[in-house]
Structure 1
Amino acid sequence: MIKLLLLLVPFLSFSQQKKSAKEALNELGPENSVLAKRAGLWNVTETVWEYPGAKAVVIKGMVAERVMIGLMLQEFIRPLKDTLHHDVRRTDLITFNQLESRWNYVSFDTRAPVGLMPAWGNVRGDGTKIDLNFAPFAVVADAADIKGQLMIMDQSFIFKDENSDVKDQYFMLADGKGTRWLGRRYSFVRIK
């Protein structure tokens, strides 16, 4: 009887340590661990090309505040002095959803009347880049008219090194022409 109990002790302690699926899916995992390393305060330079061939407009004086909320990295792009988030220009959330085995992302830009912009990425990647494809959304076609034009967008989030990142956003109007252009580039340099 004692031999039987001694044989069962390792099995019982192992079975008690086994995590539930819910617990395992709520751990960072390798993909979200990469995101956790991006938390902090970053200087942001935004470069905008409004249409293909447009002259670049460079916007400085903003910071990206990145915080982990559970498995999600949230980013607020705001003026440096706005620590209470009264003047957030853009915010986003990104996570690798282990249950779906894909990236989930949503952003909201207070400077444009486009609403929430959800996106997904189906490639885990190698920890240096995340590619996302957005659901089509409407943009104002002409400021004089209240009408829209569907826009197709994809984004590459590139981790250049531990202190610099780039988000490139490519746009294509759903006008049948198939012209894709780099419309926005956010360049990030870590402050702390």
Structure 2
Amino acid sequence: MLKHAFFVAAFLAAAVAGSPSGRADEPTAAQRMSKPGPAEEMLARQTGQWDVVASLWPAPGAEPIVARGLVAERTMIGPILQEIMKPAPGSSQPDFTRIDYLNFDRVEGRWKYVSMDTRFPVSIMPARSFGPATEGRIDVQFEPQGFVGFGAEVEGRFMVSDMAISGSDADHMLKEQHVMMADGTGKSWLFVRYEYTRRH
């Protein structure tokens, strides 16, 4: 264990110290990949507070359950965009916390996303894209997972889902999640929509 820790520390030190060629003006791959690029600049422009309207469709064709009076705080942690969503002060919504992280993995050339939400026992939901954003839209696919359901008994039914992240302009963002339950129907539907409006 000690040898492994020493190796990792030595590797990281060498990666950021400079080029193996010895040229001081030649950055290492780690240094190049660590510099902010267009993806990080796009994320940085989204920092600040946003008003949120959340809609949930529990089944195909069902009326949505709409929650207003939510606020999201977005900050950058290095190259990663962190979002923390809660009821706004004075809101009538039940208390909850939803946290997500979004980052473009420059080595793999794709987006990484993860969310956590205290409203449902859904645990941690990791997702990833197949490549970069297309026309400003980021599409990620979640890992399949069991869903508790909305009834009195635990369904534990597996579902597959994706999320599309887009923005019509600098002050309006949208996240839409579609799901398909492992119930033999093969039907997918819009499950959750988050509509963001920037606070000024």
* Aligned pairs, number: 174
Matched, 1:35 2:43: yes
Stretches of structure 1 that go unaligned for 5 or more consecutive residues are: 1-14
Conserved 8 A contact 2:147-2:156: yes
Give 1:168's aligned residue: 176
Q: Which whole-Å CA distance do the structure 2 matches of 1:158 and 1:151 have between them?
A: 23
What is the rounded CA distance, in whole Å, between the counterparts of 1:153 and 1:51 in structure 2? 14
Q: Is the CA contact (8 Å cut-off) linking 1:74 and 1:93 kept in structure 2?
A: yes
What percentage of residue pairs aligned between the two structures are identical?
37
Tell whether the 8 Å contact from 2:96 to 2:119 is kept in structure 1 after alignment.
no
**Residue 119 of structure 2 aligns with which residue?**
111
> How much does 1:141 deviate?
3.6
The aligned counterpart of 1:74 is 82
Deviation at 1:142, TM superposition (A): 5.8
How much has 1:143 moved relative to structure 2? 3.4
Q: Which range moves more in the overlay, 22-31 or 107-116?
A: 22-31
Pick which of 131-140 and 119-128 moved more: 119-128
Hey, what does 1:61 align to over in structure 2? 69
Aligned 1:1-192 pairs, distance under 5 A: 15-81=23-89, 87-126=95-134, 128-141=136-149, 143-192=151-200
Shift of 1:127: 5.5
Structure 1 residue 48 displacement after superposition = 1.1
User: Relative contact order (C-alpha < 8 Å, sep 6+): which is higher?
Assistant: 1
Query: How far off is 1:108 after superposition?
Result: 0.5
TM-score relative to the length of structure 2: 0.82
Q: What's the CA shift string for 1:4-26, capped at 9, x where partnerless?
A: xxxxxxxxxxx423221111111
Secondary structure at 1:103 match in 2: strand
Q: Please say if residues 163 and 177 of structure 2, whose CA atoms lie closer than 8 Å, have aligned partners that are also in contact.
A: yes
Is the 8 Å Cα contact of residues 47 and 74 (structure 2) preserved in structure 1? yes
- Structure 2 match to 1:7: none
Structure 1 residue 93 displacement after superposition: 0.3
Change (3 A) 1:62 1:22: same
Residues 165-185 of structure 1, C-alpha deviation per residue, up to 9 Å, x if partnerless? 000110110223110100111
Structure 1 Cα separation of the partners of residues 89 and 169 of structure 2:
26
CA distance in 1, matches of 2:53, 2:61: 20
Pair member with larger Rg: 1
**Segments ≥4 residues shifted beyond 4 Å:** none
CA distance 1:80–1:144, shift in 2 (3 Å): closer
